[in-house]
Amino acid sequence: LSFLSIHKPQKTHLFSLHSIDVSREDKTPTLSDSTQTNPPTESPPEEEEEEEPEFDKRRLEEKFAVLNTGIYECRSCGYKYDEAVGDPSYPLPPGFQFDKLPDDWRCPTCGAAKSFFESKSVEIAGFAQNQQYGLGGNALTSGQKTILIYGTLLFFFVLFLSGYFLQ
């Protein structure tokens, strides 16, 4: 076996010579970074601590807009509490918020506590800070945008096909 390994040509890794460490995305790649085959084993911890808060600030701004529907679903049985309807079995008027429910309130179907309920909120496509721009299309969910786009395409397709039936 050792005889075969001596005469076997060793493979050179062409990709490792030109690779760039993507974990350092805040820095621009330099020639010395791209020619390094191994990442540095020792790096000063002071630089990482300084870069980390700036990275976190940018990530905190990238929040998707979430729209509360006012519907909370029980994870045990699937019962849906709607704030607009309330709970007639436990005399709760319509419009009563889920967060303000009394502590002794339970699921009318299975008796689960409030902690078993999860909010059925809708995530709007796009970042929260960009919702003020545009003609209102930024406030649509991804499903609504899909229906709008393909519905418009279908409408104009039918409109142009109807031109063949004109005399």
Kindly state whether residue 158 falls inside one of the protein's structural domains.
Answer: yes
Distance from chain centroid for Cα 34: 32
Q: Convert the pLDDT of each residue in 47-86 to its tens digit.
A: 544 545 555 666 666 666 677 788 889 988 988 888 888 8
Predicted confidence at residue 19, as pLDDT, reads 47
Kindly state whether residue 91 falls inside one of the protein's structural domains.
Answer: no
Return the CA Rg of the chain.
Answer: 29
The string over 61-96, giving b where at least 16 C-beta atoms fall within 10 Å of a residue's C-beta and e elsewhere, is eeeebeeeebbbebeeeebebebeeebeeeebeeeb
The answer to whether residue 16 scores a pLDDT higher than 50 is no
| Mean pLDDT within 131-154 | 82
- Our CA angle for 16, 21, 27, nearest 5°, is 140
Kindly state whether residue 136 falls inside one of the protein's structural domains.
Answer: yes
Kindly state whether residue 154 falls inside one of the protein's structural domains.
Answer: yes
pLDDT band at 17 (very low <50, low <70, confident <90, very high): very low
pLDDT band at 150 (very low <50, low <70, confident <90, very high): very high
Q: Which helix (H) or strand (E) holds 71?
A: strand 71-74
The answer to whether residue 146 scores a pLDDT higher than 70 is yes
Structural domain for 145, as ranges: 125-165
| Integer Cα distance of 37 and 30 in angstroms | 14
pTM: 0.44
Q: Domain count of the chain?
A: 1
Kindly state whether residue 62 falls inside one of the protein's structural domains.
Answer: no
